[in-house]
Amino acid sequence: MEKNIARLLEQARLHIQHGHIDGAIDVLRDILSNDPDFADAHAYLAICLLKKRRGHAAAQEARIALTLEPESALALYALALSQFAQRQFREAESHILRLLDLDPNDPSYYLLLVDLYNATAQKKKVLPLLQKALALAPENPDTLSKLSDYYLAVNDLGRAQHHAREALQMDPEHADALVSMGQVLLQKGDVANAREHAIWALRREPGNSSALYLLTAIKARANPFLGLWWRYNTWINRIGMTRSILVLLAAFIIYRVASMAFTDMGRKDMATIVNLCWMGIVIYSFVGPAIFEKALKKELADVKLTKNF
Tens-place pLDDT, residues 181-240 = 999 998 888 988 998 998 888 888 776 778 878 887 787 676 655 555 556 555 555 555
* CA count, 13 A, side-chain hemisphere, 290: 5
Helix, coil or strand: residue 118 = helix
3-state secondary structure 149-170: HHHHHCCCHHHHHHHHHHHHHH
Q: Which residues of 49-58 are buried (b: 16+ CB within 10 A; e: fewer)?
A: bbbeebbebb
For residue 24, give the nearest of 36, 12, 32 by alpha carbon: 12
Choice between 281 and 168, residue whose per-residue pLDDT is larger: 168
- Predicted local confidence at residue 242, as pLDDT: 62
Cβ atoms of 95 and 79 within 8 Å: the answer is yes
Query: Mean pLDDT throughout 111-120?
Result: 93
Query: Mean pLDDT throughout 30-41?
Result: 91
Q: Whole-angstrom Cα distance, residue 265 to residue 258?
A: 11
Choice between 34 and 230, residue whose per-residue pLDDT is larger: 34
Which amino acid, residue 80? A
- Predicted local confidence at residue 264, as pLDDT: 77
Q: Is the dihedral of CA 152, 153, 159, 162 positive or negative?
A: negative
Q: Of the given ranges (88-102, 163-177, 262-276, 282-296), which has the lowest mean pLDDT?
A: 282-296
What value does the mean pLDDT of the chain take?
82
Query: Mean pLDDT throughout 107-117?
Result: 95
Q: How far apart are the first and last CA of the chain?
A: 36
Long-range contacts of 155-159 (CB under 8 A, 24+ apart): 155/238, 157/184, 157/187, 157/188
pLDDT in tens, 244-268: 566 667 777 887 788 888 787 888 7
**How does residue 288 score in pLDDT terms, banded at 50, 70 and 90?**
low
- Predicted local confidence at residue 4, as pLDDT: 80
For residue 289, give the nearest of 213, 233, 215 by alpha carbon: 233
Cβ atoms of 31 and 9 within 8 Å: the answer is yes
Q: Of the given ranges (115-124, 130-139, 158-167), which has the lowest mean pLDDT?
A: 115-124
Query: What are the Cα distances from residue 215, in Å, to 51, 196, 288, 299, 305?
Result: 19, 9, 16, 8, 17
- Predicted local confidence at residue 218, as pLDDT: 81
Query: What are the Cα distances from residue 5, in Å, to 35, 67, 188, 245, 305?
Result: 9, 20, 49, 56, 32
Q: Whole-angstrom Cα distance, residue 161 to residue 180?
A: 8
